[in-house]
Chain A
Amino acid sequence: MSREEPLDQFFERMVEGEPISRRAVLQRMAAAGVVLGGASSFLAACGGVSGTSKKTTDTAAVAAVNHPKAAIGTMVFSNWPLYIDRKVIPPWQKANDAKLKYIEDINDNDEFFAKVRQQLEAGESIDRDLVALTDWMAGRWIELGYVEPVDKRNVPNRVNLQDSLAHPPFDKNRDFTLPWQAGITAIGYNPKKTGREIKSVADLFDPAFKGRVSMFTEWRDSAGLVLLGDGKDPTTASADDYKAAIDKIDQENKKGQIRRFTGNDYTKDLAAGNLWACVAWSGDLVQLKADNPDLQFVVPQEGGMSWSDNMMIPQKAKTPYGAETFMNYVYEPEVAATIAAYVNYFCPVKGAREILAKKDPELAEDPLIFPDDAVLKQLHPYPSLGSTAERELTAQMAQVTGA
């Protein structure tokens, strides 16, 4: 049982079930481990899993941005699923003699970030010219310097941006972003199943709906609504407030009140009748109602959350000019109207409503796609708590949701 024994005989004896001293096994493992560990640690030192370094936005770079007109080739756009009417793609391709590679690979902000994080840190291109990420993730990318500034000369249609979305806290002058679509987080429910109207966040915790309620895995949506239900303002609440809200969600979950924590897969269960009341996104409900008119979307009396998914140009994009022409294109009211008619989310482009009113007046009147001031007043954007606190809250929520 010494180290000199040939390894294969050693293994055969182990397999035969003969007694082998723990020491011998450890010796073997150690020897093997050192060899392999040494190799991999050497390579790890070369590659390195370093952290996301903190770069600061360079105002000079913003001012000096220049994306001259150039041949586009293929423009790569990563977006969320079911977020575009593909009819609008061919005209852009023809007008710019380019090709659009449209990939629906964003299902969750964190998941997508994890996919491309390494290349971003290393200062490399992520092989995409345009991505659409939610406010808080967009803000983080800007803060970390992973985004190219937009050459506003290539996007004259940006003046069509709705006033309410023009100066968000994470990108005050819209130097880096332009909203793709915006949306509302509130409650979607089936009155036939619940047996009554839902008016308040507290209704989600009604024991009569035990096991028929869902919330998002995303704490900004779920805990934000809970805070609203407790009378707090989610935009200005503290990290401790959010911790308490997540604790409350944990308790309700342990009681069996919450059937599932979901991403956008709550839609299937809501339509199937497995879920009766969900924390939901406005656009989903508009689409679901087309199939099932019973379903309702309600902004609770305490309020709801508002957010937008923002187009941004990642660092080292191959054709920032191409990305900008596309941004400009979707801000033409005609095009925006087509997209809004299909996607059914909160349209960020002025003038789209009037165009849609001629084609589909019902959609043009839908307060979820074109919200009026009364609705807007009830909505609150996500908070901005700093990366450490937000990371802790993400981890806490992951614990609650079982991940």
Chain B
Amino acid sequence: MRRRRALMPLALLAPGLVWLLVFYAIPVVTQLWVSLQTGNADDGFAQTWHWGIYPDVVSEYEDQLWRSLGYAASATVLCLIIAFPLSYFIAFKAGRWKNLFLLLVILPFFTSLIVRTVAWQTLLTDDGWVVHTMIDVGLLPENGRLLATRTAVIAGITYNFLPFMVLPLYASLERLDRRLIEAATDLYSSRWSAFRRVTLPLAGPGIFAGVLLTFIPALGDYINAQLLGSSQQYMIGNVIQGQYLVVRDYPTAAALSFVLMVVILVFIGGAAKLVGGRTLREATA
């Protein structure tokens, strides 16, 4: 009887766990193995334990790494600024329209990412009314453009990951006990103080989850840079894709992938420390 109960979790876990081990864990670790090889696609690769590839690759693609961090951070901050009032509205002020708004937020997801980004290409084209309006208003110089600039790429990333910020924020705001906020309002002199000292910290798990779910994919994105930017805006994702599919320098591609993953894990670790263990558990629950 006890053995059956002990086996129960294993039986429940087995299919999913095996899937993740075989199709996630092992491939990713294999990449580490590949990154230490030397050679080229024509003559073959040999395992040389060439750990030196890591500093090489980091210094060679330093620009793209910093750029990716910068773009992803900017997009994440923008997402947070745009999403917070929206999530607050849906959680507290939307009443019976709550589900409708949630649906509206997730709906664009059902058109393909490429379709949406190509639509942005159409919107932001040099001869389009968006650019013309911005030139008229003075936001852009006379011969200015939006496509193939950093602005377009960051805007594209922000747009495409906005729902990932809205939904976790909403989830955590919605779970808040209104009475806490009421009590805070009674106790603090201004609603802003109440918001800052009570609502905002309580929304911590949501902010944390939203930032993670936005920053991490944004860091590795390459579609927005490819469709809306030029080579000057290319991110580390573009490099990995190019190294893998065009240059076929698999060790470099694998090494860059690992560097990216390490950066992300460091970021998660740092953010978790900042936010505290309990918030982390609540956020990922």
Contacts and interface: CB of A to CB of B under 8 A. Distances in A.
Direct A–B touching, Cβ under 8 Å: yes
Contacts of B43: 51-52
B11 interface: no
Q: How large is the interface on A (under 10, 10 to 19, 20 to 34, 35 or more residues)?
A: 35 or more
Interface stretch (B34-42, B81-89, B187-195): B34-42
A163 to B, nearest CB: 34
Contacts of B41: 51-52, 117, 391
Interface stretch (B71-79, B92-100, B205-213, B272-280): B272-280
A110 interface: yes
Q: B-side binding surface: helix, strand, loop or mixed?
A: helix
B119 interface: no
A59 interface: no
B127 interface: yes
A95 interface: no
Interface stretch (B50-58, B108-116, B173-181, B246-254): B246-254
A403 B39 contact: no
B29 A49 contact: no
Contact of A272 (B44, B125, B232): B125
Interface stretch (B163-171, B196-204, B234-242): B234-242
Given A15-B277, A51-B45, A402-B239, A110 B245 contact: yes
A82 to B, nearest CB: 17
A273 B127 contact: yes
Nearest to A36: B29
Interface in B208-248: 230-234, 238-239, 241-248
A261 B248 contact: no
B140 interface: no
B242 A403 contact: yes
Contacts of A398: 242-243, 246-247
Contact of B33 (A44, A260, A400): A44
Contacts of A15: 272, 277, 280-281
A388 B44 CA distance: 12
Contacts of B281: 15
A36 B25 contact: yes
Nearest to A51: B44
A134 interface: no
A403 B239 contact: yes
Given A49-B250, A114-B248, A211-B145, A403 B243 contact: yes
Contact of A41 (B33, B126, B238, B250): B33
B238 A403 contact: yes
A164 interface: no
B65 interface: no
B148 A260 contact: yes
Which of A16, A401, A403 has the most C-beta atoms of chain B within 10 angstroms of its own C-beta? A403
Interface in A380-402: 387-388, 391, 394-395, 398, 400-402
Given A51-B40, A394-B247, A401-B231, A37 B33 contact: yes
Contact of A17 (B33, B147, B241, B276): B276
Interface in B247-273: 247-250, 272-273
A119 interface: no
A387 B40 CA distance: 11
B64 interface: yes
Nearest to B248: A114
A108 B241 CA distance: 14
A274 B125 contact: yes
B48 interface: no
A40 interface: yes
A258 B231 CA distance: 9
A124 interface: no
B133 interface: no
B102 to A, nearest CB: 29
A33 interface: yes
Which of A260, A388, A400, A402 has the most C-beta atoms of chain B within 10 angstroms of its own C-beta? A402
A365 interface: no
Contacts of A391: 40-42, 247
A46 interface: no
A44 B230 CA distance: 37
A399 B280 CA distance: 39
A28 interface: no
Contacts of B147: 274
Nearest to A387: B42
Report, nearest first, the 3 A-B pairs whose CB atoms are least far apart: A51-B44, A403-B242, A402-B234
30 contacts: A15-B281, A17-B272, A17-B277, A36-B29, A37-B32, A40-B27, A40-B29, A40-B30, A51-B41, A52-B42, A108-B246, A110-B245, A110-B248, A111-B246, A114-B245, A253-B231, A256-B232, A258-B231, A259-B230, A260-B148, A260-B231, A261-B230, A268-B121, A273-B126, A274-B148, A391-B41, A391-B42, A398-B243, A400-B231, A403-B241
Given A260-B148, A388-B42, A402-B234, 11 more contacts: A40-B27, A40-B33, A51-B42, A111-B245, A114-B246, A117-B41, A258-B230, A394-B247, A398-B243, A400-B231, A403-B242
Interface of B: 25-27, 29-30, 32-34, 37, 39-45, 64, 121, 125-127, 145, 147-148, 230-234, 238-239, 241-250, 272-273, 276-277, 280-281
